[in-house]
Each structure stands twice: as C-alpha cells, then as structure tokens.
Structure 1
Amino acid sequence: MKQDDINYETVEQLVQAFKRLRYTEMKQSFPVMEWKRNEAKALMFLNEGTGREGKMVTEVSQALHVTSPFVTQLLNRLESKGLIIRQMDQTDRRIVRIFLTEAGKKAANEVHNKTNQWFCQLVSYLGEAESKQFASLIDKMSDFMEMEKSDKKEG
C-alpha cells in the first residue's frame, strides 16, 4: 500500500489505540502484584534454560532493555530477597554469573503461572477466534518492526 492510499483516520485510530494501551499498561501493575514489573521479568528470564547455567548482567540488561547499572540495582533487590546468588565464572574470573536460588525458582514459576492465568482470562474475554486473530496481528506487527529495524541497519 502506497502512502497516498492510506486513510489517515485509520492511522489516528491506531495511534490513539496504542496510546490508550500504553496508558492503561502504566496504570496497571504486572499480573503478579507482589513483584515489580522488572523483577518479574528478570525472574522469568533467569529461569529460562539456555544450555548453560547462570546469566551475565549484560544478558539480563539486553533481555529487559535496560542499562547495566539499572540491572545491578535490580539484582541487588533480588539478592536481598534471597532469590538470586552471584558467582564468579569458573573459566573467566572477570565474569559474574547470576543464578536463581530455590526460592527464586519458585518465585519465577509463580510469576509464570500467574502470567499464564492472566492470558487465559484474556482469551476468555476475547474469545477463541479474536484471540487467534490478535496473536496473528501481533506476529505480523513484530515482522514489520523487525523489517523496519533491518532496513535501518542496511540504509
């Protein structure tokens, strides 16, 4: 579709829908109320299997799209709650790896389960057909965003 063919009322409707979603998201706490949003995201990321144990601060930073100093503060909070431990890498002593404790694994599973419950409620609210359509549109939007990103790198 060429830019001349675009209905700008539709563009404005899409912009307003995104603004409303973002505003609602900022007012809404994470589905798991006892965890701050970034704590919950970090727990889930640290619980993901990657073939090797322990994650580095830079990996957490990239996954959460936040700075390393922010991640350090976040990890300090998780460590003070007994949810993670930090250990020096056995092969490179300059690297510190972050591991979930048993309590951290339990918390990460709780976050995962409650997040799934939230999505089950969303499917129930939207219905099966609209949920599938919504998922398809999100995938299509992700494809568009990845295409835009690669076009900017090439150009």
Structure 2
Amino acid sequence: MQQEMAKGAKGEPFAVQELYRKGPLTPSQLAASMKTTTGRVSALLSALEKKGQITRESDPDDRRVVHVNLTKAGRERAERQRESMREAICWIFSQMGERRAREFVELTEEFTTYMSLCMPGKPRPTPEEVAKAFSENTQEVA
C-alpha cells in the first residue's frame, strides 16, 4: 500500500490531479510540483497522451512554450480518482469512529502547522512564530 501511494505521488495519478486542480501547466511547472525531472515528466506525458488523457499545445505568443491540458477523458479520470479517494477516507473514518477520527484530524492539522514552520536547513521557529502560525490557522477555520 505504501509503495502504491509513493508511486502515485510520482506518477500518472499525481500528474492528472495537478492538472485537474491547477489547469494548464507547462512540463517544467508540472516537474517542479512533482519534485521530479523534466525528463521523467516528458515520459509521463507521452504515456498520458497515448491514453488520450492530455493534450500539449504550443503557446501562440511563444512557440517554445508548451501547455499541457487534460482532455475530457483526463478530467473523468481525475474525478474517478478523487471519488475513489473520498470513499476510502470515509470508510477509514467510519472504522475509526467519530472521536478518533476527530482526534486524527486535529493532530494532522497540528502536525501540518509545525511542518509548515520547519524548513530544511532553516533555524527552528521561535515560540512567537509558532503561536502566530497556530493563531492564523485558528482564524482560517473560524
């Protein structure tokens, strides 16, 4: 399961979801968001193109720039992936029970806030920065 999830983070499912969420992207923008090489993205896009799930279009103002778009089949795939993930998450939460599911969500929010403050190679945040981040997250939820 973990291997499948890791593979999805670098493969077609992730690329399809990025294009679905963000709209047309250049191959280099897609590579940056996937944290992979443009060569890997090129191979991935070729596979998606063969499946009829993306198109590549040259920018009319700059022929060197290519925009990648989802086709109808690509959008349908993205929607199926999203629905499948939603169903899986709902099932997991139902197995956990309401109290534990709420605790999980709260802990995940807390963890995500801390992660947003801890950039590799940077000093750890001050107590004031931590308090500010949690204060901002509380305001976003309200």
Q: In which range does the TM-score fall when normalised by the shorter chain?
A: 0.7 to 0.9
Q: Pick from 84, 90, 96 the counterpart of residue 66 of structure 2.
A: 96
Moved over 4 A (4+): none
Aligned match of 1:70:
40
Q: After the TM superposition, which of the residue ranges 78-87 and 62-71 deviates more from structure 2?
A: 62-71
1:90 counterpart letter in structure 2: P
Matched, 1:131 2:88: no
TM superposition shift of 1:72: 1.1
State the partner residue of 1:61. Answer: 31
Alignment identity in percent?
A: 26
**Which residue does 1:40 correspond to in 2?**
13
Separation in 2, partners of 1:109, 1:146? 28
Unaligned 5+ runs, structure 2: 125-142
- How is 1:110-129 mapped onto 2 (pairs within 5 angstroms)? 110-129=80-99
- TM-score of the two chains, using structure 2 as the length reference: 0.75
> Which consecutive residues of structure 1, in runs of 5 or more, have no partner in the other structure?
1-23, 31-35
Verify: 1:25 aligned to 2:2, yes or no. Answer: yes
In the alignment, is residue 140 of structure 1 matched against residue 117 of structure 2?
Answer: no
CA distance in 2, matches of 1:96, 1:153: 39
User: Is the aligned partner of 1:149 residue 2:119?
Assistant: yes
Distance in 2 separating the partners of 1:43 and 1:152: 32
Residue 9 of structure 1 is matched in structure 2 by none
Alpha carbons of structure 1 residues 65 and 131: separation in structure 2 relative to 1, 3 Å: farther
| Mapped partners of 2:27, 2:119: distance in 1 | 25
Alpha-carbon distance in 1 for matches of 2:123, 2:44? 31
1:101 and 1:131, CA in 2 relative to 1: closer, same or farther beyond 3 A? same
Q: Secondary structure at the match of 1:82?
A: coil
Q: Larger RCO: Structure 1 or Structure 2 (Cα < 8 Å, ≥ 6 residues apart)?
A: 1
2:35 partner letter: H
Cα-Cα RMSD: 2.1
Q: Work out the CA distance in 1 between the residues paired with 2:34 and 2:26.
A: 13
Helix, strand or coil: the match of 1:108?
helix
* In structure 2, distance between residues paired with 1:75 and 1:96: 12
Q: TM-score of the superposition, structure 1-length normalised?
A: 0.69
